[in-house]
Amino acid sequence: MTRMFHFIGTILQVPILLACALTGWWWGLLAIPVVSYGLAWFSHFVFERNRPATWTNPWYSLLGDYKMVGMMLRGQLWR
């Protein structure tokens, strides 16, 4: 379940970024970490009852999300 929340939060970064670029509303970029990390943190607290790695290693957490989404899109993590 947590993977799905990570997937949705990471994928939602693209339309938010596109909307900001097309409308010129750059303050909307602040929504990207709120949406993506918010969904991931919610799933960690509610379903896994643990503390997300974002708090100790934010860059590794971001890169890990991108890697996981890439693997999911290639069908390597749905097993």
- The Cβ of residue 2 has, within 10 Å, a number of other Cβ atoms equal to 16
d(CA 66, CA 22): 23
Please tell me the predicted confidence (pLDDT) of residue 16: 97
Taking CA 56 as the corner, what is the angle to CA 73 and CA 27, rounded to the nearest 5 degrees?
65
Please tell me the predicted confidence (pLDDT) of residue 14: 96
| CA trace torsion 17, 20, 26, 31 (10° rounding) | -50
Give residue 62's Cα distance to chain centre: 8
Rounded mean pLDDT, 47-62? 89
Domain residue spans of the chain: 2-73
Rounded mean pLDDT, 20-40? 95
Contacts for 42 with CB less than 8 Å, ≥ 6 apart: 5
Higher pLDDT, 12 or 79: 12
d(CA 55, CA 36): 14
